[in-house]
Structure 1
Amino acid sequence: MAMEYPCSAADIDVAVSGRRQRRLLSVSRYLHPVKGLQPSPDPPTKPEEPPTPPHHWLSLLDQHYYGQAEVMLRLVTCWDFDIFIFDRMTNGDAVVFMIEHMFNTYGLIRHFGLDPLRLRQFAVTLQDMYYTRHSYHTSVHAADVIQAMSCLLQDPKLKPYLTPVDVMAALLAAATHDLSHPGVNQNYIVKNNHFLSALYQDGSPLENYHYNLAMGLFKTSGLLEPLSQQDRTRFGEVVQALILATDISRQSKYLALFSTHIQNGDLDVADEQHRLFMLQIVMKCSDICNPCRTRLVSLYWSHLVMREFFRQGDMERGQHQEISPLWDRHSTNMANTQSAFISFVVEPLFSLWNKYSGSALSSTMLQNLQANKQFWTTSK
Structure 2
Amino acid sequence: MKTSPEPRRDSKTDRNLIECEAKTGIMQKSSLHFKNLSIENSYIASLLYPKSSSFHVTTIENHYYFLCTLSAILIIYSLNYILSYEFTSSLAFQLLILNASGLCIFLAYFSIQKHILKVFPTQVLQFCYLAILISLILNSKLLQLWIFNSNSCTFSCVFGILLLQATSKFVIIFTYRTFFLANLLISFIYLGLHIASSQDLLLTLLEFAIILSWTILETIKFYFAELEYREKFALCNTNPQENNKNDAMTEIESIISSVNQAMNIINTLLITTVKHKVYLQKIYEILSKVLKIIMTKGNLYEVDMDGITAGMDADDKIFMKEYVKDHSKSQPEAIKSELRKTIELPKRYQVEELLGVLRQVSNNWNFDIFFLAECTAGKPLTTIGKYAIGKYRLDEFFKIDEQVYHKFFEKLEINYKQNPYHNSTHAADVLGSFLFILHQSILFEYTNDYEILACIIANLGHDVGHPGFTNRFLVNNRDPLAITYNDLSVLEMMHSSLTFQLMSEPGANILNGLTNEIYIAVRLQVIEMILATDMSKHFDLIGKLKAKIVSSPNRPIDTPEHRLEIMRIAIKAADVGHAAKSRDLHIKWSNLVIEEFFVQGDLEKAKGLAVSMYCDRDKTNIPKSQSGFIKNIVLPIYESLNNYITSVVIDKDCIDELKKNQSEWENCHLRKRMFTTKAGNAGFSEQPVIKSLRSFGTEFRNSTG
TM-score range for the pair, normalised by the shorter chain length: 0.7 to 0.9
CA distance in 1, matches of 2:560, 2:410: 32
Indicate whether 1:97 and 2:383 are aligned.
Answer: yes
Pick aligned residue for 1:162 from 444, 447, 452: 447
Show the 5 A alignment for 1:1-380. Answer: 69-77=354-362, 78-132=364-418, 134-201=419-486, 203-220=488-505, 221-265=508-552, 266-363=554-651, 364-380=653-669
Map of 1:26 onto structure 2: none
CA distance in 1, matches of 2:664, 2:476: 35
Deviation at 1:378, TM superposition (A): 1.4
CA distance in 1, matches of 2:649, 2:469: 32
Query: 1:25-82 CA distances to partner (integer Å, 9 max, x unpaired)?
Result: xxxxxxxxxxxxxxxxxxxxxxxxxxxxxxxxxxxxxxxxx76633210111211211
Deviation at 1:202, TM superposition (A): 5.8
CA distance in 2, matches of 1:90, 1:204: 33
Deviation at 1:274, TM superposition (A): 1.1
Q: Secondary structure at the match of 1:153?
A: helix
Deviation at 1:155, TM superposition (A): 3.7
* Higher mean C-alpha deviation, range 238-247 or range 195-204: 195-204
User: TM-score scaled by structure 1?
Assistant: 0.80
Q: Give the number of the structure whose alpha-carbon radius of gyration is greater.
A: 2
Query: 1:108-153 CA distances to partner (integer Å, 9 max, x unpaired)?
Result: 0111111001111111111000011x10000000000110111112
Amino acid in the other structure paired with 1:231: I
Query: 1:290-338 CA distances to partner (integer Å, 9 max, x unpaired)?
Result: 1111110011111100000000000011111111111000000111110
* Higher mean C-alpha deviation, range 236-245 or range 265-274: 265-274
* Higher mean C-alpha deviation, range 110-119 or range 149-158: 149-158
CA distance in 1, matches of 2:437, 2:356: 21
CA distance in 2, matches of 1:180, 1:361: 33
1:267 and 1:274 in contact (8 A); partners too: no
1:79 and 1:361 in contact (8 A); partners too: no
* Higher mean C-alpha deviation, range 264-273 or range 240-249: 264-273
Deviation at 1:223, TM superposition (A): 1.6
CA distance in 1, matches of 2:353, 2:465: 29
Fraction of identical pairs, as percent: 29
Residues 202/334 of structure 1: CA separation in 2 closer, same or farther (3 Å cut): closer
CA distance in 2, matches of 1:217, 1:204: 20
1:353 and 1:362 in contact (8 A); partners too: no
Q: Secondary structure at the match of 2:500?
A: helix
Amino acid in the other structure paired with 2:489: S
Higher relative CO (CA 8 A, sep ≥ 6), structure 1 or 2? 1
Amino acid in the other structure paired with 2:594: M
> What's the C-alpha RMSD, in Å, of the aligned pairs?
1.3
Q: Secondary structure at the match of 1:379?
A: helix
Amino acid in the other structure paired with 2:472: N
1:173 and 1:243 in contact (8 A); partners too: yes
Aligned length: 314
1:119 and 1:223 in contact (8 A); partners too: yes
CA distance in 1, matches of 2:521, 2:626: 37
CA distance in 1, matches of 2:367, 2:563: 27
CA distance in 1, matches of 2:570, 2:365: 15
Q: Secondary structure at the match of 1:80?
A: coil
1:165 and 1:231 in contact (8 A); partners too: yes
CA distance in 1, matches of 2:645, 2:509: 36
2:578 and 2:589 in contact (8 A); partners too: yes
Deviation at 1:250, TM superposition (A): 1.1
Query: 1:205-246 CA distances to partner (integer Å, 9 max, x unpaired)?
Result: 110010100111122222211111111000110001000000
Amino acid in the other structure paired with 1:256: G
* Higher mean C-alpha deviation, range 369-378 or range 68-77: 68-77
Residues 273/202 of structure 1: CA separation in 2 closer, same or farther (3 Å cut): farther
Unaligned runs of 5+ in 2: 1-350, 670-705
User: TM-score scaled by structure 2?
Assistant: 0.44
Query: 1:141-169 CA distances to partner (integer Å, 9 max, x unpaired)?
Result: 00001101111121442112111110000
1:95 and 1:139 in contact (8 A); partners too: yes
Unaligned runs of 5+ in 1: 1-65
Map of 2:37 onto structure 1: none
Amino acid in the other structure paired with 1:264: S
CA distance in 1, matches of 2:559, 2:374: 41
2:475 and 2:487 in contact (8 A); partners too: no
Amino acid in the other structure paired with 2:528: A
